[in-house]
């Protein structure tokens, strides 16, 4: 069982380019999340999806978009990358969203550098 996979592992991107970070889970979890991790700021939620076909904005959604066409996949797109989007991005999933059903399973992360 792979759990959550993310691709690419790392990427260097020119400012202004479009980029999609991929995330796939094989646990049939209902909810999925995208976080960014920055030194001194901890984890910040970008976007989330409670179930397939629905998405919502997190704490720092500007400059990012997501889609949830099916249960397994939750891609994150940067339409026009800027240097402030340099970060480590983590995808996560959970069985549900309430109580201890919200135990989150994390992917290995994507390290993105925007120049």
Partner 1 sequence: GNSVTQMEGPVTLSEEAFLTINCTYTATGYPSLFWYVQYPGEGLQLLLKATKADDKGSNKGFEATYRKETTSFHLEKGSVQVSDSAVYFCALNPSGGYQKVTFGIGTKLQVIP
- Please give the residue ranges that form the binding site for partner 1 (CB under 8 A): 4, 40-43, 45, 48, 50, 58, 90, 92, 96-100, 102-109
Q: How far is the CB of 56 from partner 1 (least distance, A)?
A: 9
| Closer residue to partner 1 in complex, CB, 85/89 | 89
Closest CA to 74 of 59, 90, 98: 90
Q: How far is the CB of 19 from partner 1 (least distance, A)?
A: 20
How far is residue 38's CA from residue 56's CA, in Å, rounded to a whole number? 21
| Closer residue to partner 1 in complex, CB, 27/43 | 43
| Closer residue to partner 1 in complex, CB, 14/40 | 40
CA distances to 11, 30, 102 from 68, rounded to whole Å, are 23, 11, 18
| CA–centroid distance for 32 within its chain | 8
């Amino acid at each position: 069982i792979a759990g959550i996979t993310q691709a690419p592992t790392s990427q260097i991107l020119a400012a202004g380019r479009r980029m999609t970070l991929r995330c796939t889970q094989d646990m049939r979890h209902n909810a999925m999340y995208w976080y960014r991790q920055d030194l001194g700021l901890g984890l910040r939620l970008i976007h989330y999806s409670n179930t397939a076909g629905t998405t919502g904005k997190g704490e720092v959604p500007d400059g990012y978009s997501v889609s949830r066409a099916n249960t397994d996949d939750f891609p994150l797109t940067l339409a026009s990358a800027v240097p402030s989007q340099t970060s480590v991005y983590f995808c996560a999933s959970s069985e549900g969203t309430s109580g201890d059903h919200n135990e989150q399973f994390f992917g290995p992360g994507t390290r993105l550098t925007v120049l």
